[in-house]
Copies of this chain bind each other. A is one copy, B any other.
């Protein structure tokens, strides 16, 4: 991946948890920045530091630790996060509060700070700026099975996005970690508004397991080295890059074997459509039916039905489909069920619910629920 101009990258292994890559530093020429973060009440101290940096609208870069979330460690954890931010800022020659901090991994364990200090001590910039964005995408993985990266060009500018995350994922403001870097000129206010619009229909439409992380962060930097671009064209490209990352995350969900796309149409409004789409994509009975390629459309009816506060939904007006094949109210028969089962045997399963109320629509993404999810999560810390 050829990235945008003005960014320098370092990846390495500080020994946070084991001997795999666990540290990323990205430096940029002074850039506009915007970010959205988890709404968790147990948000980690990295989130607090990054919120302050993003609020200022300008940033010099990013430091990420990918094998320890540094969450629920009290005042000591806050001090560790501040020290990490200062160490990274020192290496790239920037003010500490201009560096965004992100951290994911196990909750409730402190960083091994002696190792962190020993790692940072000999680093000299830009001598160690040794990697590309592919390396960056790889360095931020925790239990991901492969890196997630997507790119686009708009006018003379380039946009690259990276993301990580396979579990504890129902982002409320953003996904576990996703970062976007561009050399387009976009001022902080426009960048912030654009990020929120893009996240609303991409990362906030994703759920692996209904569990919102304490570390979710989505941040975009725009350092302007490529000059101005058409903002509408840029936003469209940004949306495409974000959606590509969302689909990669859903397909790589813990234990997942299939990507699920839920298309809800005909709702009263977008909020109602989103509520129903999330109810379907999060239903363990729907997720296991997809895993078994079982065209049990009754579970779609159940999931729509449990949105009991959406009192304008009348079963008589609802149309349910799998892979575009209508199964309700047209009575499902052997032929339609066989076609639906064939669609479900593929890697990407599309579930549809037309509610027959208005023109609100929302599409959500998730994955099937498998024995693999159980195995991965039944003994994560031990």
User: Is B294 a contact partner of A378 (Cβ separation < 8 A)?
Assistant: yes
- A302 contact from B107, B298, B378, Cβ within 8 A: B107
User: Is B301 a contact partner of A108 (Cβ separation < 8 A)?
Assistant: yes
Q: Is A371 an interface residue when CB atoms closer than 8 A count as contact?
A: yes
CB distance from A245 to the nearest CB of B (A): 22
A281-317 interface bits toward B, Cβ cutoff 8 Å, 1 = contact, 0 = none: 0111100110110111111011111111011011110
Binds B, one of A35-43, A83-91, A196-204: A35-43
User: Is B212 a contact partner of A306 (Cβ separation < 8 A)?
Assistant: yes
State in angstroms the CA–CA spacing of A304 and B42 once bound together: 8
Q: How many residues on A have C-beta within 8 angstroms of the other chain's C-beta atoms?
A: 66
User: Is A378 a contact partner of B306 (Cβ separation < 8 A)?
Assistant: no
State in angstroms the CA–CA spacing of A168 and B300 once bound together: 12
User: Is A315 a contact partner of B285 (Cβ separation < 8 A)?
Assistant: no
- A371 contact from B69, B282, B371, Cβ within 8 A: B371
Among A313, A373, A378, the most chain B Cβ lie within 10 Å of the Cβ of: A378
Q: Is A231 an interface residue when CB atoms closer than 8 A count as contact?
A: no
Q: Which residues A167-214 have CB closer than 8 A to chain B?
A: 167-168, 170, 172, 209-214
The interface residues of chain B lying within 8 Å CB-to-CB of A302 are: 40, 42, 107, 168, 211-214
User: Is B212 a contact partner of A308 (Cβ separation < 8 A)?
Assistant: yes
Q: Given that A107-B298, A308-B172, A369-B374 are contacting pairs, would A328 and B289 also be in contact in the complex, using a CB cutoff of 8 Å?
A: no
Nearest CB in chain B to that of A255: its residue = B374
A107-133 interface bits toward B, Cβ cutoff 8 Å, 1 = contact, 0 = none: 110000000000000000000000000
Nearest CB in chain B to that of A297: its residue = B108
Q: Is A229 an interface residue when CB atoms closer than 8 A count as contact?
A: no
State in angstroms the CA–CA spacing of A275 and B97 once bound together: 36
Among A305, A328, A373, the most chain B Cβ lie within 10 Å of the Cβ of: A305
Interface residues of A (CB under 8 A from B): 39-43, 69, 71-72, 74, 106-108, 167-168, 170, 172, 209-214, 282-285, 288-289, 291-292, 294-299, 301-308, 310-311, 313-316, 328-329, 332, 341, 369-371, 373-375, 377-382
